[in-house]
A and B are shown apart, each in its own frame.
Chain A
Amino acid sequence: MREDAAPVVAQSAHLELDGVVSGYGQIMAIKGITLQVQTGEIVALIGANGAGKSTTLRTISGLLRPRSGRIGFEGERIDAVAPHKIVSRGISHVPEGRAIFSRLTVRENLEMGAFQRTDRAGIEADLDRVVGIFPRLRERLKQDGGTLSGGEQQMLAIGRALMARPRLLLMDEPSMGLSPVLVETIFNTIIDINRNGTTILLVEQNAAMALQVATRGYVLESGAIALEASAAELRASDLVRKTYLGEV
C-alpha cells in the first residue's frame, strides 16, 4: 500500500502510532493520534465516552484499518496486517465488554486465546498459570463462559489474552461494571502481569485507578491527544482533576 517499508520507530519504542486517523465508515473517531509505548511500561489512555479510546485499540489490533498514519510495533509496520497475524506478532487485545465466548466453555475460551500456538505442553502450562492467577476460573473450567459473573468474565478475558503470551497487552476498560473490590483485584493483576514482562496499553474511564498503575498517560479528547505526561503529572494537572477525577 505505502511505499516506504523502512522501520518507523526507534528500536526502543515498543509501539508507536504516528498521525493515525481511523474510524467507521465516514466517521473518523480518531483524527491523527501520535503516541508511543516503551518496552515495560504501563501507559494509560484516558478520556470520556466517545473520545476514541476503543477505536485506537481496535486500530492497533487490526480490526480497523487506519485511514492514514502509521503504526509500528517492535520496529515493523503493522497498520496493514490482518488481526489474526497481529496476534502472532505479540499483541493481544482484551476487548471492551470482555467479549467472552458465552457458548464455549471457560477452558475452550482459554484455548482459543492460544489459537496460534502449537506447543501443547506450553499451552497447558500457561493454562495452569492463568488459573493460578485467577483461582475462580479453575473451578469453572468446564462451565460455559456465559454462566460466569461479570468479574469472572473479566478475569477470563484477561487470562485468555495472556494465553497468547503477548509482549504487548491492550486492555479496554477492564474495570467496567465491576465492584470496587474487584477493580482493585483486577488492577493488582495488571501490575503483576506488567512486572512479569508484558508491556500494557490501558484504556480506562476510571482515570483515578488507571493513573495509579500507569507510568505515563495520554488524555484523549474527541479523537485527538489533548495531553501527554507522566502519571503523576496527570494526576496533578487541573484538566485531569476536574474532568476525569471528578475533583472541583
Chain B
Amino acid sequence: MEQWIQLTIDGITLGGVYAVIALGYTLVYGVLRMINFAHGELFMMGAFGGFYTLDAFENHTTMNDSLPSLTIALAIFAGMGTSVILAILMERLAYRPLRHAPRLAPLISAIGVSILLRNLMLRWTNARRQVFPQVFPRGSIEIGDVNVTYIRIFLVALSILFMLLLYIFIQRTKTGTAIRAVAEDRDTAALMGIDVDRTIVLTFVSGAALAGAAGVCYAMYTTNAAAGMGFLPGIKAFTAAVLGGIGSVPGAMFGGYFLGLSESYSTKLIGAQYKDVVAFVLLVLVLIFRPWGFFGKREDRRA
C-alpha cells in the first residue's frame, strides 16, 4: 500500500513538471498552430540560467546558508529570465520570418533551433553534467508510512501555483483574453486593435517563463543540469499536451498529471526500464484513436 502511495506522489511530482512544460507547447500551438520543438531546450536553458546564477554566488555561502529561500527564488527567476529572453529571440529570428510560409517550415526551423541550442550547451559544458548546487534544504516529512522529501512537496506546490497563475493570466486579464482571441482568429483579433505580433511574443514569453522555472526546479530535484536534459521531459510534455488536446490549457494540465502517474505506476506494473516507453505508447494510441486529445476540440483537417 505504501508503495502505491509513494508511486502516486512520484507521479504527481513528475506530472506537475510535465504539465508546466506542456502549457508552453499548448499556448504556442494555440496562437500559431505550430509545435515549438525547441521548447524542451527552453527548459534546459532555464536550468542552466539558474545554475550559472547560483554558481556565481557560490562563494557567498553566507547567503545560501542563511537565506536558502532567497537563493532558490533567485535561481528560479534567473532561469525564467534566461528562457524568456531566448524565447523572444527564437520567435523573432526563427519563427516570425516564416509566419506566412507553409506550416512545415517553422516546424523544421524549431527542430533546428532545438539542435542548435543543445549543441551549443554541449560545447559550453564540454558535454559534462553540471552538479546543481545543493540549495534546497534536505529532509523529509513522514505522511503515514510514506516518506516525502521537502523538494518534492515544493515541486508539487510550485507547479500548482504556476498553473494557477497562468490560468488566471489567460482567463482573467486583458492580455490573456487577447491571447485567446488571437488563438481563435488572428485577423479578427487585429481588427479589434490587438497587436497580433506582440500577443504572439507574449504567448512565447508565458510558456518560456514556465519552462524556465520548471527547468531550474527539475535540476534542483535531480541535482544536475546537462545539455541533453530538455529532450525527454520536452518530448514527454509534448505528449502530455497532445494527450490533453493540444491548444487546450486544462488539457495540458490534465495530460501532464496523467502522463506522470502512468509513468510512475508503470515502473511497478511493467518495470522501471519501460518507463519512457509508456509515454510514447500513450502518444501513439492517442494519435490513432483520439488525435484531438481528451479536452481538445475536434478540428477539421487542415491543408
Contacts and interface: CB of A to CB of B under 8 A. Distances in A.
Contacts of B178: 112, 115
A63 B196 CA distance: 12
Interface stretch (A86-94, A131-139, A224-232): A86-94
Given A99-B185, A101-B185, A101-B188, A115 B180 contact: no
Interface string A60-82: 01110000000000000000001
A164 B185 contact: no
Contact of B191 (A63, A102, A103, A111): A63
A110 to B, nearest CB: 10
Closest 5 A/B residue pairs (Cβ) = A87-B193, A116-B193, A83-B190, A99-B188, A115-B193
A113 B192 contact: yes
Interface residues of B, number: 17
A159 interface: no
B191 A104 contact: no
B191 A95 contact: yes
A92 B149 CA distance: 57
B193 A88 contact: yes
B181 A101 contact: yes
Given A103-B180, A104-B180, 13 more contacts: A63-B191, A83-B190, A99-B185, A99-B187, A101-B184, A101-B185, A104-B181, A112-B177, A112-B181, A113-B192, A115-B193, A116-B193, A160-B192
B196 A84 contact: yes
Q: Pick from B180, B192, B193 the residue with the most CB of A within 10 Å.
A: B192
A102 B189 CA distance: 12
Contacts of A82: 190, 195
B194 interface: yes
A61 B184 contact: no
A18 interface: no
A211 B196 CA distance: 36
Nearest to A93: B191
Given A112-B189, A115-B174, A115-B178, A104 B184 contact: yes
A228 B59 CA distance: 81
A152 interface: no
Contacts of B180: 101, 103-104, 108
